[in-house]
Structure 1
Amino acid sequence: MSERIMAAAERVLETGVGLDEAGVLAVLRAPDEQLTPLLEVAHRVRMRWCGPEVEVEGIVSLKTGGCPEDCHFCSQSGLFASPVRAVWLDIPSLVEAAKQTAATGATEFCIVAAVRGPDARLMAQLRDGVAAIREAVDINIAASLGMLTQEQVDELVALGVHRYNHNLETARSHFPLVVSTHTWDERWDTLRMVRESGMEVCCGGILGLGETVEQRAEFAIQLQELDPHEVPLNFLNPRPGTPLAEQPVLAPKDALRAIAAFRLALPRTILRYAGGREITLGDLGTREGLLGGVNAVIVGNYLTTLGRPATADLELLADLKMPVKALSAAL
């Protein structure tokens, strides 16, 4: 590792203050022979400022498909000829998914809907679902329902939703090439309201959407400005029928460089493995990422793609001697 990058990384380790954009870009451009030292220092930063615990989360889709937005990576858009069709999950199935998630040792259960923003029907379904889950299982409930009004933010707070996920997806400069039916600023406005409400903010994105390395660094710094409680890192898993169906999968070493870079930009933030890690990194890369800055995982399947079995991730965490974060610590 060059002396300059190492010195910058050591400052992050010492101060807990993330790299600036130039520093993030230097990590993203680092040659292959510097990757292992970068991952090692990113792991030390994670251990120093976040500790050894790993937060485990399961997710379920309350409403799948039929979304009116044109996010080019998403097979749930009703505008594309993808095989995903609109489906609503009933309350008993939602409760059962929460129970299964809790049985893995997970502390987080995120209810997701493929919508621009929630309408009256969706909010009613969410109210009933949250109440039923609370009666049946002890787990933190998060939500991801698209763009919100202030009234909807207030209702989620009243329901006891403790964390809200709304990804910016990519750098502001790249966003118009990925989504045209709404703006990056509209997403930012929802995140601002969520933060001001007292709910925890979960905000990340997808790497490999055709962005440049410079835009990847830009995105990391925009997340740094937002200062979310959690950043889910997804890697594009190209979906049939979407405009990005033929987009090449991100190279494993580029994905690992990004993990190190985002950890060094966000030393105190939960950095969560999310969709696409299986196809991008495989089992070995998943292990390297956990030893390179990642300190949270989504277990099981994602919204429209298959993930790793929860048992495989939990066995890996045990092998790495990384304790699963307890529910009592997450409340």
Structure 2
Amino acid sequence: MSDILARTRATALEKGEGLSEPELLQVLELGDQHLPELLDLAHQVRLRWCGEEVEIEGIISLKTGGCPEDCHFCSQSGLFESPVRSVQLDVAELVEAAKQTRKSGATEFCIVAAVKGPDERLMRQLEEAVAAVRAEVDINISVSVGILTREQVDRLKTAGVKRYNHNLESARSFFPRVATTHTWDERHRTLEMIRDAGIEVCSGGILGMGESLAQRAEFAVQLAAFAPEEVPINFLDPRPGTPFASRPLIDAAEALKATAMLRLAMPKATLRFGGGRELTLGDLGVEKGLAGGANALIVGNYLTTLGRPMEDDLDMLDGLRIPIKAVGQVI
């Protein structure tokens, strides 16, 4: 076994502590012949510190398209020639979507809007939507509406939002190549306010945007500094009309290695496979990922791309005999 894997066993598995940035880079630089050992170790870490349950989540967009930001991976930007039209949902539609999500066994329902940050009208819609869903559906509610002010954070806390998603997306050193209309530090400040308010932190990003292995290790330790409850792991799905439209897909073995690396950076976090997993990993790769550090899935469709049918994911989990986490259960 490689020396780094032996050291990882002592740090992440036995102590539940994340690896350092140089150690995470060594993990990413392991040859593919070590991949089975790495995935097995990441799985042992997940089982010891998170349990065997897998958490599933559904997401829905309150406002899709027409975003003023220029995130180079995103077809919701109003600045690109992307085939996403602006759509808004009403509260009744959100409640119905939450009910359908709950029927799947999902424990979390995330309300998303394509904005830099919410204006007063959107804040009132969110407060109304969260109240309506909480009144009718037994499910944890997450929100993702961009960069917040302190007053907006407090209002979401009062409304009953359990978790807030705001992805750092990539390492601070790489972020200027991802977006120019806002900064990594603005995203970071929102997460600080969320954590200070006692709302759970959900923050991850997208792998395969052109970042180096060193920047993936940098990204992991920057995420770990927040001790996030949840880390979404997305893989770039190049969208037509965006600046990243011609980028190649990340290799499946590289994606699995990065997933294991994130588990070893954050032994106790929920690592959730999100967008791009079907293209990058395929069915077999997703199964390997769930046996290699990941312990959660977004089921159904994503914000601008189609996922696998929800039933297929549920059948996969059943076939693997992986139990689904119940609402309110702590892992």
Length-normalised TM-score, structure 2: 0.98
4+ residue runs over 3 A deviation: none
Q: Distance in 1 between matches of 2:269 and 2:122?
A: 30
Instruction: Assess if the C-alpha contact under 8 Å between 1:5 and 1:23 holds in 2.
Output: no
Equivalence for 1:197: 197
Instruction: Assess if the C-alpha contact under 8 Å between 1:220 and 1:262 holds in 2.
Output: yes
Instruction: Assess if the C-alpha contact under 8 Å between 2:68 and 2:115 holds in 1.
Output: yes
Q: Distance in 2 between matches of 1:23 and 1:103?
A: 42
Equivalence for 1:66: 66
Query: SS state of the match for residue 272, structure 2?
Result: strand
Cα distance per residue 1:225-252 (max 9 Å; x no partner): 1211110000000000000000101000
Cα distance per residue 1:62-120 (max 9 Å; x no partner): 00000000000000000000011211111121111101100000010000000000001
| Aligned residue runs from structure 1 range 278-293, under 5 A | 278-293=278-293
Instruction: Assess if the C-alpha contact under 8 Å between 1:107 and 1:330 holds in 2.
Output: no
Query: SS state of the match for residue 27, structure 2?
Result: helix
| Aligned residue runs from structure 1 range 50-129, under 5 A | 50-129=50-129
1:82 alignment partner AA: S
1:295 alignment partner AA: N
Equivalence for 1:155: 155
1:172 alignment partner AA: R
Give the CA deviation at 1:330: 5.2
Q: Distance in 1 between matches of 2:8 and 2:43?
A: 15
The count of corresponding residues between Structure 1 and Structure 2 is 331
Cα distance per residue 1:181-225 (max 9 Å; x no partner): 000000000000000000000000000011011101110111111
Equivalence for 2:38: 38
2:67 alignment partner AA: C
Q: Distance in 2 between matches of 1:236 and 1:3?
A: 31
2:64 alignment partner AA: T
Query: SS state of the match for residue 143, structure 1?
Result: strand
2:190 alignment partner AA: T
Equivalence for 1:142: 142
1:270 alignment partner AA: T
1:42 alignment partner AA: A
Q: Distance in 1 between matches of 2:330 and 2:291?
A: 22
1:114 alignment partner AA: A
Question: For structure 1, which segment, 136-145 or 320-329, has the greater mean C-alpha deviation from structure 2 after superposition?
Answer: 320-329
Equivalence for 1:315: 315
Question: For structure 1, which segment, 128-137 or 36-45, has the greater mean C-alpha deviation from structure 2 after superposition?
Answer: 128-137
Q: How large is the Cα RMSD of the aligned pairs?
A: 1.1
Query: SS state of the match for residue 8, structure 2?
Result: helix
